[in-house]
Amino acid sequence: MLLSKYDLTLKNHLNQTIELSRKRLDKVGSSRGRGDLISFFLKTTLNYKIDSIRELIISRIADEVNEAKFFTIQIDTTQDINVTDQCSVIIRYVNDKVHERLIKLFSVSSSTGKSICDQVCVNLKLANINIKNCIGNATDGAANMQGQYNSFNTWLQEEAGTQLHT
């Protein structure tokens, strides 16, 4: 509905759809079920639209990152109310200016450094961003993130090659 204020085509579609729905409802006289007017704003339809917009945004960010060539990554995890670790993946890169973009939030399946690294690498690959172009990473102070032998940083260095950890 908000977008229809800025897009004439969408506004016309909404107005026509709602008007046809009102006429149908008036013709029937009484509604069955919930009796709502049809507007094509069902939860499923909205989720498809949101997913499409998300994919377009990630694609645009990936294009910018690939144009910049090199990037750094920041990983942070925190527990939600269900005691499930949630991970945020933020990419920093420089084109004409410095950009910092949140590209993914996901539930961590295992809190080991290897598992988190694997999930980050898969998500970057799905976004069409080459992990080999990662020249640095930043994490919190947790042992699974910056330990010497089996941490996220150790596994990321193996995946991406030489990089700076801060």
pLDDT in tens, 44-96: 777 888 888 889 999 999 999 999 999 999 988 888 888 888 889 999 999 98
pTM above 0.85, yes or no: no
pLDDT of 101 higher than 90? yes
User: Residue 128: pLDDT band by 50, 70, 90 thresholds?
Assistant: very high
Identify the pLDDT of residue 32: 58
Which pair of tokens denotes residue 125?
């690959």
Dihedral pair phi/psi, residue 111, rounded to 5° = -90, 15
More confident position, 44 or 135: 135
Given a contact cutoff of 8 angstroms between Cβ atoms, the answer to whether 96 and 134 are in contact is no
Mean pLDDT score across all residues of the chain: 81
Compute the radius of gyration of the chain from its Cα atoms. Answer: 23
More confident position, 90 or 41: 90
pLDDT of 159 higher than 90? no
| Whole-angstrom distance, CA of residue 84 vs CA of residue 107 | 7
| Whole-angstrom distance, CA of residue 73 vs CA of residue 34 | 48
Q: Could you give the C-alpha distances from 101 to 10, 71, 72, 121, in angstroms and in order?
A: 29, 11, 11, 16
Identify the pLDDT of residue 58: 92
Dihedral pair phi/psi, residue 65, rounded to 5° = -65, -45
